[in-house]
Structure 1
Amino acid sequence: MKQFQYIRPASQAAVLDAIAKSGSKIIAGGTNLVDLMKKGVMSPDKLVDINSLPLNTINTSPKGLHIGALVLNSVLSENSLVLDKHPLLSMALKAGASPQLRNMATVGGNMMQRTRCAYFYDTTMPCNKRTPGTGCGAMGGYNRMHAIFGSSPQCIAVHPSDMCVALAALGATVTIAGKKGERHIPFTEFHRLPGEHPEMDNHLATGEMILGVDIPDNNFAKNSYYLKVRDRQSYAFALVSVAAALDLRGGVIKEARLAMGGVAHKPWRLFDAEKFLAGKAPTEENFNKAAQLAMQSAKAYEYNAFKLKLAPATIAEALKHAGGLA
C-alpha cells in the first residue's frame, strides 16, 4: 500500500474542497475501500474522512423517507420507520455481508462499493475496470458469478450490493452535492452499465459526494420479499437475488416492482415484467410468465449458464412470497 494523506474535514464545504482532485477518495466505514487499497487495486493520494458530517439521520420528509449517507447498514436494517414502511430494504440489508461488516458499512459506502470480480481484485490479471484497455479476464475465464444482463465486451462483472437492489425496486432518489450545489438522480440511473468505460461504476462526478437517499411513500409494505440465492447462507455474494414488491388491492396487482442482483453491472430493474403484472391477479401462472418475460435479453457465458434457469425460478419464487402464495 502506498503512502497517502488522511484528513477529517469538519464541514461539507471543506469535504468538497478536499475531493476536488481525482486522487482523493472519501472514506467512512472503509469496508471495501481499505481492502482494495491493501491489494493495490486502488491507490488514492488522499483519504477524506466524512464521519464528522451530520449525515446519519433517518427521518420522514415531504419526499417520503430520508436516509443519510452515513447511516450504518445495521442501524438502517432495524430502524422502526424502515421496518414499518419499507421492510423490503431491511430484508435486503440483513441478507448482505456479515453483522460485523454491517456495523461498519454506511449507506453511501454501500452504494459506492466496487465489484467483487476475482479478476478485478487480482492485479496480475487483465481487467478493463481496474486498468482500461488491458482486457477482460473473466470473459474467457471462470465467470460463474458474472453478468447475464447489460454486459459489454469490455466487462461482465456484477454489482455486489443487496441494499442497492432493494433501493432500485423502491424507486429511491439519490441526493448528491458538489461545488455547483445539489442534484438528484433516480436510483436506477445512479449506477452505470459497463459499455466502453467499465472503470466508471456510477454517475458521481469528481468533486461530488452522496448526501443521502429518499424513498417515496408506497403501498408495498405488506407484500414485499427479498430472496437471495448464494453458495452459503452467511457472508456470500448473490448468484441471483430478487427484490419483489406488490401493491395488492381487491385481489389485483395495482403496481409491481422487481429488481435483481448478481446479474448485471448495476441493480437490474425488470420493467417489462412489472408492466405485465400490473392489473393482473397474483397467481403462480402470472408470476411464472413475468419471470420468463424478464429473461428476454439474458445472455450467459461458459460457467454461468445455470443462471438462465436460476434467475426466472428466483423471480417467480420471490413473487410468490410477496404475493402470499408461498
Structure 2
Amino acid sequence: MIRYPALNEGTTIGVTAPSSGVSVELHDLLRLAFKRMEVQGFKVVCGETIWTQNKAKSSPAKVRAIELNAMMSDDQIGLIIPPWGGELLIEILEYLEFDHFKNKWILGYSDTSVLLLAVTLKTGTATAHGTNLVDLRGDYSDHTTAMWPSVLSTKTGESILQFSSEKYQKEWNHANPSPCVFHLTEQTYWKSIANHHVNMQGRLLGGCIDVIRHLIGTPFGDVLHFQKNHCNNEPILWYLENCELSTADLRRSLVQMKLAGWFDHCSGLLFGRSDANRPIDNYTAEDIYKELYEELQVPIIYDIDCGHVPPQMTFINGAYAEIEVKDGKGSVKQTFKQ
C-alpha cells in the first residue's frame, strides 16, 4: 500500500539542503523564492544548511541528515523543498531515520531524486519529482510548473491530469531574467519508439539516472520488494532523465538497471529532454531507446517534460499513472491509488 501525504492550504514549507546549499552570492535567489511562497499563502522555515556550500555539498553528511530528520519528524512542517539538487545526497542515506519520518511531501529533482526514490522504496510513502525551490522565484510560473500545488493537493483515491507543455527552454539566459524564470522558446514534442499513438499504465518510479543508478545493490534501491509489498506487483512505469551522462554511460546505466531487475515487470519507460546525450562514435540516445525497446518490448517515450531542460511535470513516485502520447502531445493522469 502507498501512503500519500496531503498538502494543506497555508502549510509550512521546510527548506533544507540534503545535497548542495546556496553560495553567498546567490542568497537573493532564495529570498525571492521565500517571498513567492509566502505570497501564495505558505509559511517558510529555513534550515542552516541552505546558506552554505563547500566541497560539493552544503555541509557534512551527518549535519545534513540531522537537519532533514528533524524536519521530517516535525508535525508543524507539511512539505520539504530543497533549494535545488547537487552532487552528494547519497552520503546522507545511511543516517536517515526513515522509521520516524512523518507523512509529508518531499518535492524536487536532480540529486534530490535519490532521496525521493529511497524514501518511496523504503517506506511506501509517495514522493514528488518536480520543480526545485529556486525555480519558483519568478513573478509567475509557466502552466506546467505551476501544477505542483494542485498535484500535491490531490487526495488519496482521487486523480489529477497534466498535459505536455507547449514550449520548453533550450538554454539558460541568466543575464536576461524572465518574470517566470524560464525562457520557453522551443516547441515541445513528445516522441515515441515504434508507435505514434502510445498508451501505457503503471506505478510511477524514477528520477535522474545519473544518481539513482547508485542505489542499485543498496538497502535503498530494492525495487522488487517495493513492487511486491507496496503495490501488489503492479507493473512499474519508469520516468528517467539524463543530466550529464554521455550516451555510452547512459547505456551502461540502463543495462545495469536491467540486470539488477529494475525493469522486471515494467510497462514502459519515459525519458526527459536532455542536452547531455553526447553521441559516442555516432551512438545516439535514439539508438539506446531503440535497443531498449527491442530488449524489453515495452513502449518508450522520450523528450518528455521532465528534468534539467524545463519546464517539467510533477511526477509522483508510487502513484498509478495512465499516459497517452499522440501527435507529439502527451497527457499524464495520476491516481493516488493505495
Q: TM-score, normalised by structure 2?
A: 0.29
Q: TM-score, normalised by structure 1?
A: 0.30
Larger RCO, structures 1/2 (Cα 8 Å, 6+ apart): 2
Larger Rg: 1
